[in-house]
């Protein structure tokens, strides 16, 4: 039986980091025997080659300087040219999220007789109300996919409210490699901290993500400070992720303000910044608690990776997103969005009771293994490719 041929279209791909890119890479590996993949992506690192084979998958990059209007204008032309060059080799175009780029890709895919699959990744962006504001052409393209995969119930329900046929829309949460992300014992945790250059003597509170206002690293810093000053719980706060404005949503002031406040409070090595890395698993394994303070998420990959690592996790309660992953007090903790005091209490509670935290982390891993494994996601993707109707 011939393999399906699928062109994945995403905003970033390895070695650059995005949730959609991470999922595309994982599914390309999981489905390599059944699907022949290619990747069409934008990139902000000008040193990356325009064409490269990554783990057996051809990757076609359109390099983009987001601070240059000229770069953004010419990127559209370069994207069209590249898409027309490679599209004949693929029967299915699988779009990841809404963007102006993907509007154009959708119509070109239709004109060239391709089947179209769309994955909804981002709350507040991949929703009909948000897309409608981009104009009628964008909205029509957004609603024309043959099969739609939503990573969260919230995104699925929002798309269905646009009046599309329910048969076209499927729930497909992100998949996590539970072999790569796993628990370690206490001695390994200490060894990992030593290898990573992290302080060994205090518990570690971990943040993983880029520094945007929506992800609230500043709220976490303030809550962490309160946990120490008001609740007497000492720990190290480790931020892993991009702090510089090389991409759309990063606000450089966030990291600068946290560094300045940390210096004023004489925190010393209690606040650690780690650049973005594809080797994030050791940081989860070295930590004692993970915090997701975001005000906007769908099916957060970092939260699932932390839970798969057996890490007790605290997340803002986001309906249809975090509250369908975490059962408060059972496999994690939830707090009200932007409630700094509640987050400080949750951090303190978790760090004070090691036995309860360990049990919570074990239940968190069980949740990911049973519901969010890579194999489950791969089957959902393959079913979407199989079921997408052939063009007339």
Distance between CA atoms of 352 and 25, rounded to whole angstroms?
38
Structure tokens at 4: 């399906």
Q: How far apart are CA 235 and CA 318, in angstroms?
A: 26
Largest CA distance in the chain: 68
**Edge-to-edge order in the sheet of strand 51-54:** 51-54, 57-63, 35-43, 4-10, 92-96, 115-120, 147-150, 169-171
| Domain 4-175+373-387: CATH architecture, name and number where available | 3-Layer(aba) Sandwich (3.40)
The CB density around residue 240, as the number of other CB atoms within 10 Å, is 21
Domain boundaries, the chain: 4-175+373-387, 186-371
Topology agreement, domain 4-175+373-387 and domain 186-371: yes
Which alpha helices (H) appear in the chain, and where do they start and end? Answer: 19-30, 69-86, 100-111, 128-132, 136-142, 153-160, 186-196, 217-229, 252-264, 281-286, 301-308, 340-352, 354-371, 374-387
10: CB partners within 8 A, 6+ apart: 18, 20, 21, 24, 39, 40, 41, 96, 97
Which SS3 state, helix, strand or coil, does residue 206 take? strand
Residue 144 has a CB neighbour count (10 Å cut-off) of 16
Cα(133)–Cα(136) distance, rounded to whole angstroms?
Answer: 8
Tell me the Ramachandran region of residue 113: left when phi exceeds 0, alpha when psi lies from -120 to 50, beta otherwise.
Answer: left
86, with CB counted inside 10 A (0-12, 13-18, 19+), is: middle
Which of 154, 153, 157, 132 lies closest to 142 in space, CA to CA?
132
Q: Are 131 and 142 in contact (CB under 8 A)?
A: yes
Beta-carbon contacts of residue 47 (< 8 Å; ≥ 6 apart): none
What is the DSSP code string of 338-350?
T-HHHHHHHHHHH
**C-alpha to C-alpha distance for 291 and 284, rounded to whole angstroms:** 11
What pLDDT is stored for residue 372 in this prediction? Answer: 97
Please list the pLDDT of the chain residue by residue as tens digits (392 residues): 568 999 999 999 999 999 999 999 999 999 999 999 999 999 989 999 999 999 999 999 999 887 777 887 788 888 888 988 998 899 999 999 998 888 889 999 998 999 999 999 999 899 999 999 999 999 999 999 999 999 999 999 999 999 988 999 999 999 999 999 999 999 999 999 999 999 998 999 999 999 999 999 999 999 999 999 999 999 999 999 999 876 667 899 999 999 999 998 877 789 999 999 999 999 999 999 999 999 999 999 999 999 999 999 999 999 999 999 999 999 999 999 999 999 999 999 999 999 999 999 999 999 999 999 999 999 999 999 999 886 64
Look up the CATH number of domain 186-371: 3.40.50.2000
């Amino acid at each position: 039986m011939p393999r399906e041929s699928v062109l994945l279209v995403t905003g970033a791909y390895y070695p650059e980091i995005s949730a959609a890119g991470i999922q595309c890479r994982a599914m390309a590996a999981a489905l390599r025997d059944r699907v022949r993949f290619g990747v069409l992506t934008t990139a902000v690192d000008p040193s990356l080659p325009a064409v490269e084979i990554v783990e057996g998958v051809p990757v076609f990059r359109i390099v983009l300087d987001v601070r240059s209007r000229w770069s953004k204008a010419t990127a559209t032309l370069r994207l069209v040219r590249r898409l027309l060059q490679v599209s004949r080799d693929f029967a299915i175009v699988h779009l990841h999220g809404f963007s102006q780029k993907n509007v154009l890709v959708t119509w070109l895919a239709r004109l060239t007789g391709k089947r179209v699959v769309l994955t909804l990744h981002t709350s507040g962006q991949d929703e009909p109300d948000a897309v409608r504001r981009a104009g009628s052409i964008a909205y029509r393209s957004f609603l024309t996919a043959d099969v739609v995969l939503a990573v969260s119930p919230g995104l699925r329900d929002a798309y269905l409210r646009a009046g599309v046929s329910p048969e076209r829309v499927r729930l497909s949460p992100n998949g996590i490699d539970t072999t790569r992300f796993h628990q370690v014992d206490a001695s390994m945790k200490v060894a990992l901290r030593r290898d990573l250059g992290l302080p060994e003597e205090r518990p570690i509170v971990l943040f993983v993500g880029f520094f945007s206002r929506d992800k609230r690293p500043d709220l976490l810093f303030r809550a962490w400070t309160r946990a120490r000053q008001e609740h007497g719980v000492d720990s190290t706060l480790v931020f892993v992720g991009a702090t510089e404005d090389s991409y759309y949503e990063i606000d450089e002031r966030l990291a600068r303000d946290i560094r300045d406040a940390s210096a004023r409070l004489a925190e010393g090595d209690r606040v650690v910044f780690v650049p973005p890395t594809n080797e994030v698993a050791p940081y989860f394994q070295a930590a004692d608690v993970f915090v997701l303070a975001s005000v906007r998420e769908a099916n957060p990959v970092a939260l699932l990776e932390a839970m798969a690592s057996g890490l007790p996790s605290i997340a803002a309660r986001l309906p249809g997103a975090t509250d369908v992953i975490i059962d408060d007090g059972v496999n994690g903790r939830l707090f009200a969005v932007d409630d700094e005091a509640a987050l400080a209490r949750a951090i303190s509670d978790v760090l004070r009771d090691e036995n309860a935290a360990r049990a919570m982390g074990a239940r968190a891993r069980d949740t990911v293994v049973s519901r969010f494994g890579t194999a489950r996601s791969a089957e959902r993707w393959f079913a979407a490719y199989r079921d997408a109707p052939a063009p007339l």
